[in-house]
Structures are given as structure tokens and as C-alpha cells.
Chains A and B, each alone.
Chain A
Amino acid sequence: MILIHCPYCEEDRPEVEFTYGGEAHIARPLDPGALDDRQWETYLYIRRNPRGAHAERWRHAHGCARFFNAVRDTVTDRFEVTYKTGEPRPAGDTK
């Protein structure tokens, strides 16, 4: 069982308290009507799916119930850092 650090509760809690929310930092288009089909495809369906550091959303569903972001290595499943929603992705994790 993975322990995940909730940046709001500031505690390491077991994985079963959390739900996964997919790739992070995918911004909803400000003017959806202006997008063409290719841009919609990218926004809705294209994902980085990297082998290595992955910025992703998690929700502390059985705790504070808030969404936050994390950078996790997809080969080792090790969490490198978790940070609050709205904060930028930490530098140095862009491999």
C-alpha cells in the first residue's frame, strides 16, 4: 500500500483514502467555441502517458475531500512531491 502525503492535511495517509483524478495541468479551454476538432481531440483524449515523472491529480476522498496535484514516477510508483491545486508544477520534474 502506497502512502500519499496530502498537502492540505499535511499527513501521510494510505492510498485507499484517495482517488485518482488523471493527468494534471490540463486547462479547460477559455473559449470552447473557438476550438477546432484537432484541438478538442488534444484537450479531451491525448495524454502524455510518460514512463517516468507524471504530474497527476489526486483527491483525498476519505479525508479533507480536496483535490491536489502530485508528481509520481510511473515506473517505481514513488511519489516525488505533492502540492496544492493552483500551485505550478515543481521545476526539475520534466523528464
Chain B
Amino acid sequence: MKRFSGLNLFAEAFNGHKGWPEHWPDKAPKAAYDVIIIGAGGHGLGAAFYLAAKYGITNVCVIEKGWLGGGNAGRNTTIIRSNYLYDESAHLYDHAVKLWDGLSQELNYNVMYSKRGVLMLAHNVHDIQSFKRHIHANRLNGVDNEWLSTEACKAYCPPLDISPNARHPVLGGALQRRGGTARHDSVAWGYARGAVARGVDIIQNCAVTGIRRGPDGAVIGVETEKGFIGAKKIGVSAAGSTSLVMRMAGLDFPLESYPLQALVSEPVKPIFPCVVMSNTVHAYISQSDKGELVIGAGTDAYVSYSQRGALHIIEHTLAAICEIFPIFTRMRMLRTWGGIVDVTPDRSPILAKTPVPGLYVNCGWGTGGFKATPGAADLLAHTIAHDAPHAINAPFNLDRFRNGRLIDEAAAAAVAH
């Protein structure tokens, strides 16, 4: 790997920039690896990176059905925050936020993490009480979160309509200043480049068609479109397709896959300085560095793998955005898309060992997986390397659906699901 630096950039300028090597050259799979990761999104590539960089396991292969970063890693709204109510969730997501800090330096790749702040608007008395409870709970867990008055919200985000006659009056807001956005593609690319530089193979356009198990039940490898590849350990990080992959190993999972839509506007000059979320009217918005307004909302109603959603969901989202920000009513929307998110019954992820020896899973992130990318990747790598979960992800096991110790962020999440 040739490092990106001012000096190298300067030197390459005299060379027509022909000296930069390919980030992740195409490789034929080896016969066997120590660890196979299924799914080359941010989470899977990150897990491969941390396995190599932090835990010294470099004989690793990442297998991807489509192309690198083409699933939910490239379909989200890039919001980063950790203002979750429960202790388990706050620790999990804040672990990720701590890793976002310094990720560009660690990867030598600019992931454009921008701490522009995530502002959650309160529109009614219930919101005020709920957000203040979140703020206190967050502070006890060392997660920054503060209350802003209506005027302070307006000062922080000038396009906001705070008139008392507004359809959704702004009664205040909760602000996490460490929250913000990052460049989603760069995260996948940076992890891929870092992992490949440490000896990891990335096999794209190669669907896994089966998981082979030995006589003792433990995994011995995967069947793929390019033949059998052996492995002692397999980590599954396949987002919306996790149910299908786990069924290959004979496991039924507590997951359902829904389309989650997002959309962007035509690009405009910088106007929107932060991320604003409104749970009550169900919409969130930020502005990308390219100038597009990035807008999202909740999932579609029904189980689907179609990677597209219903128009009336988008209509509802944009109606909310236009009420809160009348300034945007004449903006044109450029593109909409859907990603398939895997949702657990308690809306918290599963990051754990499975009943099958040698098979590990990172799934169930639902509508909030992007923000967790570095944390989930690191914890999946830890769980695989030690064959045991880290204290942070230990509560996010599969047993909780049997013993009833759910982490019920469905009711408590900072944004309604």
C-alpha cells in the first residue's frame, strides 16, 4: 500500500499519478483461509481490517455477492450518533463513535467524518420529557447530549421554522455535538484498502451458496459460485440477507428484512450546517459535502428484498421536511433508493457467536447500521479472534430471544422505528 501523504502526492504529480497501486486487485480465492467474512460492506470489510490490524489474523477472505460497498454501505444516510437510552446500546454505539474519531488517520484514508452535530427536535410535551430523560441517561454513560431551547435550535440550524404557528412547533431539541456524518463509500473503500494491504483477499461477484459443516457440526467452509473455500471460522455480516445465509447453516433467525428508503435533492450551496432528526413527524435531513440534501425516514411496511419502496412513504417524509423547513418546498429531488435492512424483534443488533461452532454473526442493525460501522467491525473481529464476545457486545447475543433479556430500543431508541 502506498500511503497517501503530501509528499507522495507531490512526487506523483511529476509522474502523471501513474505510481498509485490498485487498492484491491482482483484475486482468485485460495483453497482455504483462517477466517471467511461473508459480506463486503463497511461492517464486513472493517472486521477483516481489524482481524488483520489488531488481532494478527491476516489469512482472511471477504466474499461478496455483488460489489464492494454496494449494499447498505452505499444506501444509507451516513448519520453518526450514539445518544441511545439503554446502557448496553449507549456503550455499543459510543464505542463506534470513539473509533470514528481518528479513523481517517488509522486507515490513511479520508472518511470525511464531520462532527457537525445531530439535533433531535421536540414537537410536544412527551418529546421534551423523553429527550431530557435521554440526555440524563446519556450523560451518566459519558455520552455527550445537551438540551437546546427553541431559539438555540434556530441559531444552530438557521433553516428551521420555529414560528409558534408551524404545523410542527419546535419546543426545543437534544443536541449531540459529537454526532454528524461521514462519507459512506470512503468507509468501505478505506477499510478494503487497509485490509488488502495487510494480506486480506476480497472476492467480489461471488455469492455464497452454502455453508459446509463437519461431522462435529462445526463449520469447515463455504460453497460459492467460484467453488468450495475452506475456513475454520466464518463471520456473517450480510445485513438484509442474513436470514438466508444463516439458513444455509441450518439456523432460523429472529429477523425480518424491510426496505428502507432514502433520497437526495439536487445539489445546492451550503445551507444546512448539521443533521436534524424529528422522531414525531418521522424524518431526518442533512446536507452532503457535494451539496445534496440527504433525506430519510422509517422503513416500508412489509417484508421485501426488492431494494425499492413505496412512493407514499417518501411523500410522507417530504411532507414532514417541508413543514419543518418551508425553505425547501421548491427543491427538486434527484434520486431515491432503498436498502434492505434486517430488523430484530427488539430493534437491537445481534453480534454474537451462534449455536454452530465457528460461525459468528453481526446482523440486525435495522435502520441504524452505518453509525456503528467501526464499532461493529471491531467487535465482530474481537468475537471471532477470541471465540468469545467482548464485554460491550456480550448483551447482544442470540439467547436474549429465549431468556427474555431483550434490549428493547424499539420503544426507547432516539428515533422511532
Residues of A at under 8 Å CB distance from B?
Answer: 1-2, 15-16, 19-20, 23, 37-38, 40-42, 44-47, 49-51, 54, 56, 72, 74-77
A1/B345 in contact, CB under 8 A: no
Segment among B89-97, B142-150, B160-168, B252-260 that sits at the interface with chain A: B252-260
Tell me, yes or no, whether B402 is within 8 Å of chain A by CB.
yes
Residues of B at under 8 Å CB distance from A?
Answer: 241, 243-244, 252-257, 301-306, 310-312, 345, 401-403
- Greatest chain A CB density within 10 A among B301, B310, B402 is at B402
Smallest beta-carbon distance A84→chain B, Å: 19
Residues of B within 8 A of A42 (CB): 252
Residues of A within 8 A of B302 (CB): 20, 56, 72
A75/B305 in contact, CB under 8 A: yes
Instruction: Say yes or no: A19-B301 contact (C-beta < 8 A), given A49-B243, A51-B244, A75-B306.
Output: yes
Q: Which residue of B lies closest to A45 (CB)?
A: B254
B interface majority secondary structure:
loop
A-B pairs, top 10 by smallest CB distance, nearest first, are: A45-B254, A49-B243, A20-B301, A20-B302, A41-B402, A45-B401, A45-B345, A46-B252, A37-B402, A74-B304
A77/B306 in contact, CB under 8 A: yes
Residues of A within 8 A of B303 (CB): 23, 47, 49, 54, 56, 74
B254/A46 in contact, CB under 8 A: yes
Q: Which residue of B lies closest to A52 (CB)?
A: B305
Residues of B within 8 A of A2 (CB): 310
Residues of B within 8 A of A44 (CB): 345, 401
Q: Which residue of A lies closest to B246 (CB)?
A: A49
Smallest beta-carbon distance B57→chain A, Å: 31
Query: How long is the Cα–Cα vector from A47 to B306 in the complex, in angstroms?
Result: 18
Query: How long is the Cα–Cα vector from A90 to B403 in the complex, in angstroms?
Result: 36
B402/A51 in contact, CB under 8 A: no
Residues of A within 8 A of B253 (CB): 46, 49
Residues of A within 8 A of B345 (CB): 44-45
Residues of B within 8 A of A72 (CB): 302
Query: How long is the Cα–Cα vector from A46 to B306 in the complex, in angstroms?
Result: 21
Residues of A within 8 A of B310 (CB): 1-2, 15
Query: How long is the Cα–Cα vector from A75 to B403 in the complex, in angstroms?
Result: 33
Query: How long is the Cα–Cα vector from A54 to B310 in the complex, in angstroms?
Result: 18
Query: How long is the Cα–Cα vector from A19 to B312 in the complex, in angstroms?
Result: 13
A76/B306 in contact, CB under 8 A: yes
Contact of A41 among B243, B255, B401 (CB under 8 A): B401
Contact of A74 among B254, B255, B306, B311 (CB under 8 A): B306
Residues of A within 8 A of B311 (CB): 1
Contact of B256 among A15, A19, A47, A51 (CB under 8 A): A47
Query: How long is the Cα–Cα vector from A37 to B399 in the complex, in angstroms?
Result: 10
Query: How long is the Cα–Cα vector from A72 to B254 in the complex, in angstroms?
Result: 20
Smallest beta-carbon distance B344→chain A, Å: 8
Contact of B305 among A1, A38, A56, A74 (CB under 8 A): A74
Query: How long is the Cα–Cα vector from A38 to B255 in the complex, in angstroms?
Result: 16
A15/B312 in contact, CB under 8 A: yes
Residues of A within 8 A of B401 (CB): 41, 44-45
Query: How long is the Cα–Cα vector from A92 to B111 in the complex, in angstroms?
Result: 49
Residues of B within 8 A of A50 (CB): 243
Query: How long is the Cα–Cα vector from A20 to B256 in the complex, in angstroms?
Result: 13
Residues of B within 8 A of A75 (CB): 304-306
Query: How long is the Cα–Cα vector from A38 to B402 in the complex, in angstroms?
Result: 6
Query: How long is the Cα–Cα vector from A37 to B312 in the complex, in angstroms?
Result: 40
Query: How long is the Cα–Cα vector from A48 to B310 in the complex, in angstroms?
Result: 23
Residues of B within 8 A of A15 (CB): 310, 312
Query: How long is the Cα–Cα vector from A2 to B306 in the complex, in angstroms?
Result: 13
Extra A-B contacts (17), CB below 8 Å, given A37-B402, A41-B402: A1-B311, A15-B310, A40-B402, A45-B401, A46-B252, A46-B253, A46-B254, A47-B243, A47-B255, A49-B243, A49-B244, A51-B241, A51-B305, A56-B303, A72-B302, A74-B306, A75-B306
B312/A16 in contact, CB under 8 A: yes
Query: How long is the Cα–Cα vector from A40 to B241 in the complex, in angstroms?
Result: 24
A-B contact list, 25 entries, CB within 8 Å: A1-B312, A2-B310, A15-B310, A16-B312, A19-B301, A40-B402, A41-B254, A41-B401, A44-B401, A45-B345, A45-B401, A46-B252, A46-B253, A47-B243, A47-B256, A47-B303, A49-B253, A49-B257, A51-B241, A51-B244, A56-B303, A72-B302, A74-B306, A75-B305, A76-B306
